[in-house]
């Protein structure tokens, strides 16, 4: 075998070893996700909820709310806070829609709903002010 062929084969062996090493590391690091079904879905959803609150992603909270309601109309234990914040955010959005349309009857009805939901927010009462500010400042 000539010297050039030996160098090419050595380079290919090094590339194959690096690829094998990379794939092994990827496989070991992904092992923890193999048993995700054993995680508590409520706890996971609450962590996502807290993340979305920190980033004021109220649209994502509303999306989670509607997806969750497709499977469970009544909130599961621990999900009540997500439902309440999402209902308030949706009602606040609708209040702006009704105001821009000039629909006073629906606007008054929605204001009552907002107040009812606002009283249920509990520890998340601060979100009502944040949502109101976001709705006011929306283009």
Residues 11-20: tens digit of each pLDDT:
999 999 999 9
What is the DSSP code (8-state) at residue 69? H
Q: Do 28 and 74 lie in a common domain?
A: no
Same domain, 51 and 101: yes
Mean pLDDT of 53-74: 85
For residues 14 and 53, state if they share a domain. no
Q: First and final CA of the chain: distance in angstroms?
A: 73
Q: What is the pTM of this model?
A: 0.67
How confident is the prediction for the chain on average, in pLDDT? 86
Considering the domain architecture, whether residues 59 and 108 belong to the same structural domain is answered as yes
If asked whether residues 17 and 83 sit together in one domain, one would say no
Residues with Cβ within 8 Å of 123's Cβ and at least 6 positions away in sequence, in order, are 81
Residue 49 belongs to domain spanning: 39-137
Residues 84-102 pLDDT 10s: 899 999 999 999 899 899 9
51: which 2 tokens?
């993340």
What's the total number of domains in the chain? 2
Instruction: Give the Cβ contact number of residue 134 at 10 Å.
Output: 15
Residue 129 to residue 56: CA distance in whole angstroms = 11
Q: How far is 109 from 91, CA to CA, in rounded Å?
A: 10
Same domain? For 51 and 116 the reply is yes
Pick 43 or 23 by higher pLDDT.
23
Euclidean distance between CA atoms 117 and 111, whole angstroms: 10
Same domain, 44 and 93: yes
Q: How many CB atoms lie within 10 A of CB 78?
A: 14
48 with 29, same domain: the answer is no
**Two tokens at 118?**
């606002």
Measuring CA to CA, which residue among 42, 41, 48 is closest to residue 63? 48
Q: Does residue 57 share a domain with residue 26?
A: no
């Amino acid at each position: 075998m000539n010297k050039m062929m030996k160098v090419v084969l050595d380079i290919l062996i090094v590339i194959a070893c690096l690829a094998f090493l990379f794939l092994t590391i990827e496989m070991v690091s992904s092992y923890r996700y193999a048993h995700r079904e054993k995680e508590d879905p409520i706890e996971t959803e609450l962590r996502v909820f807290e993340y979305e609150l920190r980033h004021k992603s109220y649209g994502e909270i509303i999306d989670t709310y509607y997806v969750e309601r497709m499977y469970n109309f009544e909130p599961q234990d621990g999900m009540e806070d997500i439902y309440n914040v999402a209902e308030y955010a949706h009602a606040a959005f609708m209040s702006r829609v009704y105001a821009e349309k000039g629909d006073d009857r629906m606007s008054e009805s929605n204001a009552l709903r907002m107040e009812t939901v606002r009283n249920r927010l509990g520890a998340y009462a601060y979100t009502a002010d944040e949502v109101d500010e976001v709705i006011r400042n929306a283009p």
